[in-house]
Structure 1
Amino acid sequence: MSEYLNTARRVIETEMAGLQQLAGSLGENFDRAVEIMLAVKGRVIVSGMGKSGHVGRKIAATLASTGTPAQFVHPAEASHGDLGMVTKSDAVLVLSNSGETPEIADIVAHTRRFAIPLIGVASRAESTLLRQSDVALVLPAAAEACGNGIVPTTSTTMTMALGDALAIALMEHRQFTPEHFRTFHPGGKLGAKLSRVGDLMHADMPLVSEATPMTDALLTISQKGFGVTGVLDPRGHLSGIITDGDLRRHMQGLLDLDAASVMTRAPRTISPDALAEAALEQMQGSKITSLFAVDKNARPVGIIHIHDCLRAGMV
């Protein structure tokens, strides 16, 4: 094993040990912190300096994307006017490994002056930050992974994990669903995976009746550009689909037939409320390129093509 791999494994194992210590140290103060955040009528303001600030930005983003309105406020900028962002309807989460970072003094004082709930995260219970806090979350005295205690490694990992724990506890209490999550993640692969068929489907569908001559059905297939056409029975239900394979199988005398004679009956369909990912899985599994979305009465309401899923960034 190389020296580099030895270092990598030592770092990861050291940080894992810190996370285990953190998990074992949590108690009623964690519950109190969650309850404060749940009761907030405004936002959870997250603040921290240096590495704690970088972690704080991530925690604020995670809270905001999982149903807890949150915003990161840089402590130095807060001292130069941004304290106006912190109101009496908010709660403040301040991160500082030492609990003595000079730049956090003004935002801490602001919370005390206006009776704004303050949750402090630090590694020293006797630090100024935790003594001033309404709820003190103490990070355990775990070794930093650098070996000499200089580089914030295990401490920042624990702080990040603590932020995730708070966010998920709040999320589960609020019964935050994938649909809620999609509201905050409309873009990127996450948004695509949580899209509904109804979000991607086309309402202008290729459709013909069972009695339609194949000369007209071929025209519909060509005009709509999906390579297929749905076939409707007299009640307007989707009774079949005509694909390239159906055309090849009925090549002999094709133009003398009607749609009902050529179509594949009982085609695969999907609900417009289904996840688009389910539609993609069905198309890939069945080696087809299009699916009709039908309502509860088997009437077609749209068509989704595998290219729609690709364009949405699902794969």
Structure 2
Amino acid sequence: MSNTITVSANNPYPVIIGRALLGELAPLLGEKVAKVLVIHPVGLSASAELVKETLEAAGYECLLAGVPDSEDAKRVEVAAFCWTILGQADFTRSDAVIGFGGGSTTDLAGFVAATWLRGVRLIQIPTTLLGMVDASVGGKTGINTSEGKNLVGAFHSPSGVLVDLDALQTLAKNEILAGFAEVVKYGFIADPVILDLIENNLAEATDPSSDVFEEIVSRSIQIKSNVVGVDFKENGLREILNYGHTLGHAIELAERYKWRHGAAISIGMVFVAELARLAGRLPDAVVDRHRSILTALGLPISYPAEKWPQLLATMKRDKKARGANLRFIVLDDLAKPTVMTAPTEEMLFAAFQEITA
């Protein structure tokens, strides 16, 4: 059995959630597509070959592009490598790109699809929890520069997303837990039932074979769908999805993208929770709940004090800033996100002191 959530963005598309979903791939591509480029991390080469065989059996010409793992994929040199393959194979606007991998791979694939001939058909097949609940849904694509994360990108909706939970069965447990940072984010900004499910039975909540896990994934994707359906290009509501990400992205840069995204976002969420508490907006119990849930998931909630000057400088270049003013998504209470604009550097430093190691 599969569950389909329709994302009603600028071009509506289905997110199909279930198990053993490769049979759904050809219908998503449609009959007009002739050639397909599958962009995948080199670590998933064997699995990518199975995708290729499935596509060729359905009558498509399929090429594979193996790219580096994790954030190393999100470089302009890697995008250029993919463009070269598309050009040499004479891909036209009626052909398609598939992103097969984690969030970094789907970000890259989306950017390549958005920029080739100003936009070709895109299918996302995320293979990590982070990719399933966040990166592959919503149409935000991007690559990194030496100055920061996702500073170059485009909005480009996929034609469909296949969330095959079977892909997580061989994923290392720590990779699954890292993906839970984004899941916890959804719980705090929109759906506290997610937090209840995690707290009530941590083992089932983090087991990809369980019904509870599938419910958590579906609830997370539904929130993302609801938000991007209203605000595709981040002109308002979509900003709430950046909860914890301003400091989180700065930490990722400070760590030269060697940290898992979820680990950095976990610290970022505790930081903005402390910021909201200092501003008198968020009750102590909600801040403490951040710490307890993230700690139970094995995610970090502190960072070295001496890194603050570098983190502050990076945040000032963040794409969510407006001129010289920093902006943070904070909570007034559970499921009540709002924007805090231009907090003083003294307040930011004080909040950071609450999370220093």
TM-score (norm 2): 0.29
TM-score (norm 1): 0.33
Q: Which has the larger radius of gyration?
A: 1
